[in-house]
Chain A
Amino acid sequence: DTAVSQTPKYLVTQMGNDKSIKCEQNLGHDTMYWYKQDSKKFLKIMFSYNNKELIINETVPNRFSPKSPDKAHLNLHINSLELGDSAVYFCASSQVDSWGDHTGELFFGEGSRLTVL
Chain B
Amino acid sequence: QKEVEQNSGPLSVPEGAIASLNCTYSDRVSQSFFWYRQYSGKSPELIMSIYSNGDKEDGRFTAQLNKASQYVSLLIRDSQPSDSATYLCAVTPLNRDDKIIFGKGTRLHILP
Chain A interface (Cβ < 8 Å from any Cβ of B): 40-45, 48, 55-56, 58, 90, 96, 100-111
Contact = CB atoms under 8 A, between A and B. Distances in A.
Contacts of A45: 99-100, 102
Interface string B59-92: 0000000000000000000000000001010111
Contacts of A41: 38, 86, 104-105
Would you call the interface of chain A mostly helix, strand, loop, or mixed?
A: loop
B4 to A, nearest CB: 11
B31 interface: yes
Interface residues of B, number: 27
29 contacts: A41-B86, A41-B105, A42-B102, A43-B88, A45-B99, A45-B100, A45-B102, A48-B99, A55-B97, A56-B98, A90-B44, A100-B96, A101-B92, A101-B94, A101-B96, A102-B92, A102-B96, A102-B100, A104-B31, A104-B33, A104-B34, A104-B49, A104-B92, A104-B100, A105-B34, A106-B44, A106-B100, A108-B44, A110-B43
Interface of B: 31-34, 36, 38, 42-46, 49, 86, 88, 90-94, 96-100, 102, 104-105
A57 to B, nearest CB: 10
A103 B43 contact: no
Given A58-B99, A101-B31, A104-B92, A90 B43 contact: yes
